[in-house]
Amino acid sequence: MPNYRYQVRSAGGQVQSGTMSADSISTAAAILRNQGAKVLSVTPADERVTQSVLQRLRALNSSRPSQKHVLDFTTQLSVMIRAGINLRAALDGIADQTTHQGFKRILLQIKEDVEGGKQFSQAIARHPKLFGPLYYNMVQAAEMAGSFADALDRIASYIAQQMETRKMVIGASIYPAIIGLLAIAVTIFLLTFVLPKFYTIFEGKEDVLPWATVFLMNVSKFLIAQWPVLLGAVGVGLIALFMFLKTEVGGFWLDKTKLSLPVLRTMFRSLYISRSLQTMGQLINAGVPMLDTLAITGEISGNRLFKRVWQGVYQAVKQGKKIAQPLARDRMLPKSVCQMIAAGEESGKLGEVLDQIAVFYHKQLKDNIKAVTGLIEPIMIVIMGSIVGFIAMAVILPIFKMSQLVG
């Protein structure tokens, strides 16, 4: 049974603290309230003891808090609010057990703002890089509706799913990138370290050598002689590409390319549809106004083409039109999705419909990632094998011919 540190105010007004064992934070808080005390905070006592030194150093040395910190904070805050702990005490308790110093400072600042009379939504609005527009708007809507803990649960679920999706996409991208870099490294090694050892055998016999051997020898000599220039050119090219992709034109080109690549376009389309509809569904269910919902959905979609679609929907809704009409005209979303959105609008259950569509496309995204990974693996192996085989044949074939002539 886990241990919890608690801080309570007794009937006489004295603040007392200590540790106790309970099944959960909620159970611990209930036991303390049954004893006639006012619960100020309840936090896990074992977490700080069991955390390894390496984890502490990593947290302390991390320059910026991550979404994992935000997810943990949101989950803990939801549990503590449901347990009946007031917001100020909950923030104080979570900040006390946070080992990441940067995130701890942010939480303490939020607590100070709340103590100063600000709403929680106003306090987190001062940290937009951590608590984005979706987080802020859902919290603000929950404060008006009085469903704060429910909103925190939905936000935590949303962040967790987005983190899982990001890991899946990155994982699907890393493998082919590693194979591609390995193919380039092996090719350079063969051309600059292996092939030069055969120069003495091939020199003076260029007229009888196969074209592939002559070509690779020229490439090898060029690489060895000009490697500083080539290395600098590659570095400048990568920097120029990075700067270009940072521009609006470059970013638009990259986003368009993602939706055009033969193998990857289905995966990326599922990603952007799932993210957009999940964001929109969460905001609508939280009671965020429709125009704000559409503006936030466009910003979070992750692709400039989809952002342009949602901006068009925003303008149409602003003029009094329904969501499904501009979506159907743009054709970025499948016709079946537009039909389901139209049905959701007619029935008044748009939030539920969007959640169901988002779940479907999230599952489809998982299937697409598996298919892409399974397809790219043999393609990359064939490409790498062809390059290495071509170099090997260009070296072995003339040696074999010369040995026959000598024989």
- How far apart (Å, rounded) are the C-alpha atoms in residues 159 and 325? 30
8: enclosing H helix or E strand? strand 3-9
211 falls in which pLDDT band (50, 70, 90)?
A: confident
Evaluate if residue 270 carries a pLDDT over 70.
Answer: yes
What average pLDDT score do residues 105-130 get? 89
**pLDDT of 1 above 70:** no
Phi/psi at 42 (nearest 5 deg)? Answer: -140, 120
- What integer pLDDT is reported at residue 53 of this predicted model? 47
Check residue 21 and report its DSSP letter: E
Q: What is the mean pLDDT of the chain?
A: 83
Residue 278 CA, chain-centre distance (Å), reads 15
**pLDDT score at 147:** 77
Question: What pLDDT, in 10s, does the model give residues 148-191?
Answer: 888 888 889 888 888 888 888 887 778 778 878 888 888 888 88
Residue 394's CB is within 10 A of a number of other CB atoms, namely: 21
Judged against a pLDDT cut of 70, whether residue 54 lies above it is answered with: no
Query: Domains plus CATH for the chain?
Result: 3-131 (1.20.81), 188-407 (1.20.81.30)
The pLDDT of residue 50 is: 43
The count of other CB atoms within 10 Å of the CB of residue 348 is 8
Q: What is the widest separation between alpha-carbon atoms in the chain?
A: 108
| pLDDT tens-place string over residues 65-75 | 888 899 999 99
Rounded Cα distance, 257 and 265, in Å: 8
User: What was the pLDDT predicted at 46?
Assistant: 53
Least confident of 91-95, 108-112, 204-208, 388-392: 204-208
pLDDT given for residue 405 in this prediction: 57
Q: Is the pLDDT of residue 12 over 80?
A: no
